[in-house]
Chain A
Amino acid sequence: MSLYEGAVKRPIMTSLCFVAVVIMGLFSLSKLPIDLYPDIESNTIMVMTSYPGASASDIENNITRPLENVLNSVSDLKHITSKSYENISVITLEFEFGNDIDVKTNDVRDKLDMITTLPDDANTPIIFKFSTDMIPVVMLSVKAKESLPALYKILDENVANPLARVKGVGTVSISGAPKREIHVYVDPVKLEAYGLSVETISSLIGAENKNVPGGNFDIGTQSYSLRVEGEFKDAHEMEKIVVGTRNGAIIHLSDVARIDDSVEERAQEAYTNGTQGAMVIIQKQSGANSVEISEKVMKALPRLQKSLPSDVELGIIVDTSDNIRNTIKSLADTIRDAMIFVSLVVFIFLGRWRATVIVLITIPLSLVASFIYLLGTGSSLNIISLSSLSIAIGMVVDDAIVVLENVTTHIERGSEPKQAAIHGTNEVAVSVIASTLTLIAVFFPLTLVTGMTGVLFKELGWMVCIIMIISTTCALSLTPMLCSQLLRLQRKQSKLFLTLYGPVEKALDKFDLFYAKVLDWAVRHRMTIIAGCVLFFAGSMMLAKHIGSEFFPTADNSRIKVTLELPIGTRTEISRDLAKEIHDKWRVKYPELLVANFSVGQASSDNIFASMSDNGTHIVNFNMRLCNPSDRKRTLSEICDSMRADLNKYPELKKFQVMLGGGNTGMGGQSSVDFEIYGYNFDETDKAAQELKALLLNIEGCSEVRISRSDYRPEYQVDFDREKLALHGLTTAGAASYLRNRINGSTASYYREDGDEYDIKVMYDPERRQSIEDIENILIYNAMGQAVRVKELGKVVERHSPPSIQRKDRERVNTVTAVLSGSDLGTVVAKAQEEIDKMDIPSGVSINISGSYEDQQESFHDLGTLALLIIILVFIVMAAQFESLTYPFIIMFSIPFALSGIIIALLVSGQTLNVMSMLGGILLIGIVVKNGIVLIDYISLNRERGMGVISSVVSGGKSRLRPVVMTTLTTILGMMPMAIGTGEGAEMWRPMGISVIGGLTVSTILTLVLVPVLYCSFASTGIVRGRKKLAKKNA
């Protein structure tokens, strides 16, 4: 018993099987998390190693290079980039997409264990499973009044720690709340007079601030423990410490120093909407779900707020999950609209509500069943999985329609519904499976794509394959079952129905006749038609060069990040004033701004978020949120461009960067081209970068050009004379530590209060470290206790050094990044390449183009190969079905016109060629050949029934017009909401919708004429050849 026979004979089992599928699907749907993309961000691992006191070039030589050499051997590594800053080395390993990041993390850990050559003072490398690009999930603002001085402690205990325990949260950083620190500011003159040094004071404080257990002893029957409690109960207790004696008089610490119980000297300040406060930044771990984390954080907020003092108030600056939720919601709306459109088309063409219901029931069934797959693979509701639903809606009804049509024919011939359902389905089962196979031939290869596009298309490929398989199963079991139960021989239609549907029926009939006429003319003027089509194709190809290309469409997520850089060394106060000025100006100029937050100043080293992004006294970071795209007239790119123009007017800004979408490059951000200048020599690569920047700024469409290497930091270096040092029994390292203890301060001990530890730092009084003389006058003691001044041991000179050294693939690199606006990637790169060719580049320096351009090239290449593979597979499936090589060849002619259609549609709508529109093109291969299959199948059936070539073509065309137009319309209208949608994130899938609609329209119209014409030509040559053969045989 076949599938359909079983289904028809056992309606209860069949319907309950599908009910079970629906229940499972709905259950899965309720469990599915929401995300923007399928798991895509987890391809980077960061290795951070600190080596206190080392300069950028020391770090490069001693830490970064040995690590890079070892880490380079981890498999599947795509790029290895590193930044060597003062004190810290940050290495980023970028892996090919699709690797399990946990396995890679273990590999990296194994490699790190093998390293033995790191300096002793260097800390153990720390592995982070997130990348620098990773945008924070949630940013909270904190307002405080009385609690401001203790804000760090309050936030750390009551907000940061509880939030860090939330599953999936990577780090929680606090900015803008300085930490408490106890400073012992010593006066060098007094120290010198008393013959003391910072080191002695520091070690004395350490020795005084101690609790020492003295052991146990017995008194009588009791046993007691003996303890000495020396730890300070109050910071000012330190003033009483005796640091020495002079001529019999006791010297207290207060005689040579002042105790300052305050906050760390250099801290980042944060301003939200113009008022100062702190900022809590929550970042997620690789692969964690943003929406889930943000929901948990939002749920925890009221509870956290309660545990805070009454004057501390938490607010939300940025919640990235808003955007995700809105995007998914607008995509869900798109699917709903598509369903309505498809239902209307089906009803208009079938004209019977029972038939419409039977066909439409396959849509929710197949779609809901795909949720089971999503849950099973641990995926989420995201742009890709929902787009695949949207793509599939128009196609899932096709099989059911074919089955239903044939069953109806049987019923009209007089069969009983039950028999009609079995035999009707039996007749079309093979062709239904074959047409599903063509679609699977298109979508299955998508699951094999590698790289970044692979991550996206894998899910799409699987989803559509699964949906198609389910819809075919449904068409071969549920549809015949429902037909046998619901369909009846149509006797007389009601009057109301006739008045309503009559005109539609008449119009459809007229359309059939019109097409038959056109076809009749066309097959008799074959050369004209073929020449016309060739011309049309050539003409559309000429238009192709007017279409720009980019990697991914720019998504409007209502977020902007701006980084301002003043000349290096600018004091925090000046940077802050400028930031305030710009902030106030923007507030007035851009009423779209909802929240604007900026932070300025040097971040402390344990603020991971801040230390991953650039920070310093001269750097200002803005984080802005705008109102929703539907509530404003200007697009995000327009606002960004306008902000860039504003910033250009400030000559005091050394550099600035306006990041659309909050710094999320790659997908959804603005396209950018990275020109990587490789070379060891700083001067040469700097010169080349400057030259390139000037050239790029002249190219139209580059709205922002920046060089990654920061300006050289002016610094004072002490050049010790080794001979003099040796004479005094000193070494460079020993002498240098004296300098460090006086300027940076030495951590003498920890002050403990309420279970918390605060650093006690001994250092020169700020007033005593303000000039070169202060440095020169520092006293250095040798082992004999003799003091020598710095100026007697060497010279203090002013020099410049790069604050960070960047490397990529184990070579020093300086990147010039051009952000594009108003022009496309392809054009700008071509122009830039021309300019680069003209440049005079010194030997040892090379320029490489990467950034979105590299991604685009890779993806386009992948997709091109994929298209070829798909065409071959589709050909094979068709050839197998028809048992012919000619028919598939004829059908393949509809593919080039799909391309013409895409080009015209993109040109008219002003869209560019990007990964999404190319994806649309690939989908079209499967969809357009389906039309050809339906036509050729019926034409050849007519010929087998004994008709002449031309009459089988005309009558076959006429009778297959409706199914072709119907399936095409369902697909086009299914895509329509995607193409014209204006919801949040709509710009992502618009190119795909537009290219499918354009390509399908043009290719269907031409297929309906060209394919029959070609069939005639091939068939007539076949007949002529057959006759000749026969004549030869007879002769």
Chain B
Amino acid sequence: MKSILITFDQAYYERIISTLEKQGCRGFTYLEQVQGRGSKTGEPHYGSHAWPSMCSAIISVVEDDKVQKILDILHAMDKQTEQLGLRAFVWNIEQTI
């Protein structure tokens, strides 16, 4: 089991949800309003006067074999519209209840 943290411009929401659905990942946690900016080029998403856009985040815990597929799809999505901003981070899940 691995956990994927996807942070993205709000505009991606529907596309990401449908991607997860198609990949058979039922469970996820959605944080609607999060702020942040990219390490290199990513435009700040602060919801402020100067930077009005906002990010959302989704944490989904998936089977190991599904991770690569999902990351590929997300990467392709990001490449398509680079200006919006989409990142995904994966780490191991030690234990669940």
Contact = CB atoms under 8 A, between A and B. Distances in A.
A419 B13 CA distance: 9
A419 B14 contact: yes
Contacts of A423: 10-11, 53-54
A703 B60 CA distance: 90
A944 interface: yes
Contacts of A944: 48-50
A422 to B, nearest CB: 8
A818 interface: no
B57 to A, nearest CB: 16
B91 interface: no
Contacts of A940: 49
Given A427-B53, A941-B50, A945-B51, A415 B14 contact: no
B14 A416 contact: yes
A414 B84 contact: yes
Interface string A382-418: 0000000000000000000000000000100111101
Interface in A438-454: none
Contacts of A945: 50-51
Contacts of B52: 426-427
Nearest to B9: A415
Contacts of A363: none
A317 interface: no
A430 to B, nearest CB: 9
Q: What bracket does the count of chain A residues touching chain B fall in?
A: 10 to 19
Given A944-B50, A945-B51, A413 B14 contact: no
Contacts of B95: none
A456 interface: no
Interface SS majority for chain A: helix
A418 B15 CA distance: 12
A420 interface: yes
Interface in B23-44: none
Contacts of A420: 11
A976 to B, nearest CB: 36
Contacts of B80: 414
Interface string A63-91: 00000000000000000000000000000
A405 to B, nearest CB: 13
B68 interface: no
Given A419-B13, A419-B14, A423-B10, A414 B82 contact: yes
Q: What bracket does the count of chain B residues touching chain A fall in?
A: 10 to 19
Contacts of A413: 81, 83-84
Contacts of B82: 414
A416 B11 CA distance: 7
Nearest to A411: B11
A414 B81 contact: yes
Nearest to A413: B83
Contacts of B84: 413-415
Nearest to A942: B50
A551 B11 CA distance: 58
A415 B11 contact: yes
B55 to A, nearest CB: 11
B51 A416 contact: no
A414, A416, A418, A945 pick with most chain B CB within 10 angstroms:
A414
Interface in B46-72: 48-54
A985 B14 CA distance: 58
Contact of B83 (A414, A419, A426, A427): A414
Contacts of B51: 945
A953 to B, nearest CB: 15
A261 B53 CA distance: 97
B32 to A, nearest CB: 12
A420 B14 CA distance: 12
Interface string A609-646: 00000000000000000000000000000000000000
Nearest to B44: A945
A410 B11 contact: yes
A416 B83 contact: no
Contacts of A941: 49-50
A940 B50 CA distance: 8
Nearest to A940: B49
A945 B50 CA distance: 6
A413 B9 CA distance: 11
A413 B45 CA distance: 14
Interface of A: 410, 413-416, 418-420, 423, 426-427, 940-941, 944-945
11 contacts: A414-B11, A414-B81, A414-B82, A414-B84, A416-B14, A416-B15, A419-B13, A423-B10, A941-B49, A944-B49, A945-B50
Given A419-B12, A427-B52, A944-B50, 12 more contacts: A413-B81, A414-B11, A414-B80, A414-B82, A414-B83, A419-B10, A419-B13, A423-B53, A423-B54, A944-B48, A945-B50, A945-B51
